[in-house]
Amino acid sequence: MNADKKVKILATLGPAVEGIEQIRQLVEAGVNLFRLNFSHGEHADHAQRYNWVREVERQLGTPIGILMDLQGPKLRVGRFAEGKVELQRGQALRLDLDSTPGDARRVNLPHPEIIEALQPGMNLLLDDGRLRLQVTAKEHDAVITEVIAGGELSDRKGVNVPEAVLQLSPLTEKDRRDLTFGLELGVDWVALSFVQRPEDILEARALIQGKAALMAKIEKPSAVQKIAEIAQLCDAIMVARGDLGVEVPAENVPRIQKDIIRICRQLGRPVVVATQMLESMRFSPAPTRAEVTDVANAVAEGADAVMLSAETASGDYPLEAVQMMSKIIRQVEGGPDFQSQLDVGRPQAEATASDAISCAIRRISAILPVAALVNYTESGASSLRASRERPKAPILSLTPNLDTARRLSVAWGIYSVVNERLHQVEAVTSTAVEIAQAQGMAQRGDTLVITAGEPFGQPGSTNSLRIETLH
């Protein structure tokens, strides 16, 4: 078990990774879970990659999580009679429901929910924010805008509406088909795009029905404003900085990232920092200094995981990108002030036996040379509470449930082993010692901190702590 880093790596699969051997190399280099991006590729492609990961999981004997990322609604302008137009600053542009090809004076906006939500004074962003329009007037089936930042606009470019909450489900018909397919395949996580409000999480949960854990992608200003409620309702959060950086001023993104990490840690929800982390490694074997600093900052801020997108999905150097990310993580975590920085942001414990024990093991691992914290869990909840404390020692999570082990692959410091022999609390210590040694996490003379609960195997019952020295 390669438990030499606490922060996890989520890597996106795509055409750059062509088989089982490459996936195995990525896992051995530090990947903990994989992302299937349903914005691209056919179901057959995703099924093949899913099966490759499961084969590597079998070969290595290590639980590997698989996340399906739903595309969500894609808002776009219509087509132009000549394929594109040049918009000049200060000119008027009408956006309407007429599907007739447009020109420099008007264009189709085939989304009545956008027209309904817009009001004079609001901004629209086109083509990933390269062009900006401001609404000057509204009609029942159109809005009149003034071009604030102009440029070339071509067919079917994207539209962002940062200042309005759209009466639009985050799940399109395509998403619903993809979700059904992914759940039948057996994915461990579902990432929900276009989250605007807490109700969006409830809608997705009703469809998922507990068959996978739910990760909300935070990419809309309205979701940032409701982050605490959204985080309460889902199982994890992704800071999707690409779309978020279009809809909010770029200079606000670092602060928003810090705030989301802090809130998620307080709630005990894993948080993934995503998008353009090592972007230049799509075409270069080495990252920029700024990218290295970006990854390092996410690690220092206490993120559970960092994500690679195009770097591993379609880039020229997928393995090198993972190796570089692992090096950065280990370098930051090995720093003299890393643990003290995490302790400064330590969340407030709740008045429960589980949180009291989690706080205790954090303190014990800071005082004693603890090789590993061993936790028995059915649902993963007690391991997540231990992870929330960001202890100095790695967390060896023993569970009889393979689904639990795979879902925990995103969480800070947790490394899971599936073990079905544990049925009574008396067996926990001997089994913990045996597995910690077998996984290379402890040897003779090392100290383990072992937690479990009675009634044994009942979620939320963690109430015992044992310090064991291996002889």
**In the prediction, which pLDDT does 460 show?**
60
Question: In Å, what is the CA distance from 156 to each residue of 48, 78, 115, 123, 286?
Answer: 31, 5, 17, 19, 34
Mark whether 76 is an active-site residue. yes
Calpha distance 93→96 (Å, rounded)? 10
Of 411, 412, 430, the C-alpha closest to 421 is 430
Per the CB < 8 A criterion, the answer to whether 192 and 214 are in contact is: yes
Domain 8-72+170-333 CATH class label: alpha beta
Per the CB < 8 A criterion, the answer to whether 332 and 338 are in contact is: yes
**In the prediction, which pLDDT does 175 show?**
98
Strand runs (DSSP E) across 163-304, as ranges? 189-192, 213-218, 236-240, 271-274
pTM for this entry? 0.95
Q: Please name every residue paired with 448 in a beta bridge, in sequence order, or none if there are none.
A: 372, 468
**In the prediction, which pLDDT does 458 show?**
64
**In the prediction, which pLDDT does 464 show?**
82
- DSSP string spanning 383-430? HHHHHHT--SS-EEEEES-HHHHHHGGGSTTEEEEE-----SGGGHHH
pLDDT digits (tens, 9 = 90+) for 57-110: 999 999 999 999 999 999 999 999 999 999 999 999 999 999 999 999 999 999
**In the prediction, which pLDDT does 242 show?**
92
Calpha distance 342→390 (Å, rounded)? 7
Mark whether 258 is an active-site residue. no
Calpha distance 187→68 (Å, rounded)? 7
The token pair that represents 39 in the structure block: 């914005």
**In the prediction, which pLDDT does 11 show?**
98
**In the prediction, which pLDDT does 252 show?**
97
The CATH architecture annotation of domain 348-469 reads 3-Layer(aba) Sandwich (3.40)
Active-site option among 5, 6, 106, 217? 217
The token pair that represents 44 in the structure block: 């057959």
The token pair that represents 196 in the structure block: 């605007």
**In the prediction, which pLDDT does 280 show?**
98
Active-site option among 12, 145, 275, 431? 275
Mark whether 8 is an active-site residue. no
Active-site option among 6, 8, 24, 35? 35
Mark whether 327 is an active-site residue. no
Domain locations along the chain: 8-72+170-333, 84-160, 348-469
Residues of the chain whose pLDDT is less than 50? none
The CATH architecture annotation of domain 84-160 reads Beta Barrel (2.40)
The three-class DSSP label of residue 340 is helix
Active-site option among 54, 76, 138, 174? 76
